[in-house]
Structure formats: structure tokens, C-alpha cells
Structure 1
Amino acid sequence: MVLPVLEILADGSYLSEIVAARDNCRRADPERVWVIEYILGPRGGDGTVYRLITTLLDPDQAPAQELAALYAQRWEIENTLGEIKNHQGVPGLVLRYQHPRGVEQEIFAFPLVHHALRDLMYQVGPTRATSTHHPEPA
């Protein structure tokens, strides 16, 4: 995607413009956007640069670093919901409870079960199972 730099902001992000795919050559009816480039993970992660493009144009209203962190959290949530849907038998789910409080409880149970399963997977995962480190007996 061509993202021309129109103005570089103090935090290193920049203002640009995008156009509909059909107008790419003519660049007709451009929409002004704010482009925030960042790398996920501790100390630069794997080096993959991600781009967040938003129509919010005021860095004082929503600082770039906060938006990037929120966007990463959003994808954590999306991935979790996707795993719940595909691996906990949720497609075609019919909730058992007829009362709103019971439905709410059942819905909250899905992410709790997901995280419990993930914790268990981590505890018995291959990196832990094949570890050569054995703690000293107490």
C-alpha cells in the first residue's frame, strides 16, 4: 500500500492519505490518515514492523504509543475469541440457561476455561517437558 508521508509528527508517526483500490492510480478522493509504525514484543520483538492506520488525527487526543498498545490488546482478544469459537465447541452453540444471569455466567465461563486450558498447556508444553534443569530437592 502506498502511504505518502505528508507530515512527520513529533513521535515519529506521520500523516498520510489513502484512496480506494480502484482509485489508486488516479489517487481520487484521498482520505487523510495517521500512520503509526511499531514493533511488538520486548526489546523489539522479532523485528516485524506493524502499521496502524487510523482516521484519528490528533496525537494529543490518543497518543501513538497508547493506540499501538490497545491495538495489540485487541488482537489478543480477537485471537482468544477465535480459539474459543473453533476449539471449545462454540459454533452453533445454544446456551443452556434461560435467565439472563445464567446466560451471563455461561458466557463468562468460556474465556475462563480458555485461559485455564492455556495455562495447563504451558505447564505441560514441550519446552517445559524437555527441560534438562532439575530443581534441587528442598
Structure 2
Amino acid sequence: MPAIRKPPVLCCYPDGSFRSQIGDLRVRIISCEITITTPGGRRTEAYRFATTLLDHHRHPARELIELYHERWEIESAFYELEENHARPGATDASCPACQMMSP
């Protein structure tokens, strides 16, 4: 969710998330910091994401943040695979994601 978007805070939860509304959809907004490692180095950025998992007892923000981070890593690995294999002459040795997946 872009930082410029300011969804209304309808209810705050003890895990730091809050209930909101985007159009007709009831959502829960979770904020977190994620460290991203790229060939240029590491950087930490603030992120917010919306989920329809509204029950903060059944789905604590910390658990959802961890799952989101895992998803981010998987998507990054797929992106790396697509980028490296789309280039002519790319080899598995030049692809960190390929190296992680090799036996």
C-alpha cells in the first residue's frame, strides 16, 4: 500500500495493526519494516499491507509479517530466475536463485 494512502483508522489492535475500510472492503492494516538485500547492498524500509484476515487473535500481526516476508523472498527468487534466464548467455552460475535451488 503506498505511503501516501491514508486509510481511516476504525479500530486499533494491541499488536499494532488497525481495522480500516478500502471502498466497500473491511481490511486490517499492518505496518512493518523489511530489510531488502540487493546487489547494491541492504536497506530497511517501512511497508504497510492490507489483509482481510481481521481477527488479530487468530492472525497476529507478527505472524502475518513473517509470512509476507517469506512470500517476498519467494517472489524475489522467481524474479531473479526470470531475469537471468531471459538474458542470452545466462548460466546457472550467474544466478543466485539457481544456486540456492541446486542440490
Same fold flag (TM > 0.5): yes
AA partner of residue 30 (structure 2) = I
RMSD value, Cα: 2.8
Q: TM-score if structure 1 supplies the norm length?
A: 0.53
Match of 2:22 among 18, 21, 39: 18
Extract unaligned runs of 5+ from structure 1.
20-29, 91-109, 118-138
Identity across aligned pairs (percent)? 36
Extract unaligned runs of 5+ from structure 2.
36-41, 88-94
Q: TM-score if structure 2 supplies the norm length?
A: 0.69
Give per-residue Cα distances to partners, 1:9-60, cap 9 Å, x unaligned: 01111000102xxxxxxxxxx211000101124xxx8552110200110112
Match of 2:100 among 112, 115, 123: 115
Residues 1-138 of structure 1 mapped to structure 2, 5 A cutoff: 1-19=5-23, 30-41=24-35, 46=43, 48-89=45-86, 113-115=98-100
Q: Which has the higher strand share?
A: 2
Distance 1:78 1:112, change over 3 A: closer
Q: Which has the higher helix share?
A: 1
Q: Which runs of 4+ in 1 moved over 6 A?
A: none
**Bigger RCO (CA 8 Å, 6+ sep):** 2
- Structure showing greater radius of gyration is 1
